[in-house]
Structure 1
């Protein structure tokens, strides 16, 4: 019997371009959101954020700083967030992203329908110190 706790670790990137616009994807499950995905075995969390952004958008990024963690306790999911900037690549959709674009912060927050995604962006943009947010709902 396996009694060891199991957590899902997600890496996400709030990518801001030189116009201070946010990179968003529109996927089939959750609508508009930031690029994110599960960290693979043997992969660093920051590398996962870079990889997921490339896979979902076609855009290469550089991590600027670690922002913080949102932990969904009941679901055993830890979402790690990074602030990044684009360094190259071209938009390329995937099965996880039917649309891709850069949007002003206000427009991006209006497009996103999941409250948790809005909070993640706001925390990354508005806080200079790393944060840790726990929730159960």
Structure 2
């Protein structure tokens, strides 16, 4: 388990593999590469980030990961693999499941929710990006990206 403070000073516990954190994940994050580029989106308020969000009533976290990716980027994914889970301790503590998967379709003109669609960046471009969401900064995101790169198909 990796424990660190996020950019807002909150304690975060990150574990790869099975959930050892004792809290059900109801939030999702999708971190994947396709043709050598990371799939990101530009949130209108927060900036550039990986797609993600919250599971809706009656929806599994896997279903939420697929839906959020389509809604925010127009990209359809399958073959989900749970990478990690992390708990952010704050006034409203929550657990987020991190997934990767395979891209099966890219809609070039999707109907979008809260974002400006898919943004494909190389690792170098992502590392040099100056408009990253606060969610994208810090020790945990670096560890998650490393895991995804090491396990790329």
Identify the TM-score tier after normalising by the shorter chain: 0.7 to 0.9
Change (3 A) 1:122 1:44: same
Report the number of matched residues. Answer: 122
Q: 2:121 aligns with which of 93, 103, 120?
A: 103
- Do the aligned residues in 2 keep the contact of 1:10 with 1:79 (CA within 8 Å)? yes
Partner residue of 1:81? 98
Partner residue of 1:122? 142
Partner residue of 2:81? 65
Deviation at 1:121, TM superposition (A): 4.2
Partner residue of 2:40? 24
Which 5+ residue runs of structure 2 have no aligned equivalent?
1-23, 149-153
Root-mean-square deviation (Å): 2.4
Q: TM-score scaled by structure 2?
A: 0.68
Deviates more, 1:22-31 or 1:87-96: 87-96
Deviation at 1:76, TM superposition (A): 1.3
Deviation at 1:127, TM superposition (A): 2.8
Distance in 2, matches of 1:97 and 1:87, equals 21
**Aligned-partner SS, 1:43:** coil
Q: TM-score scaled by structure 1?
A: 0.75
Deviation at 1:97, TM superposition (A): 1.2
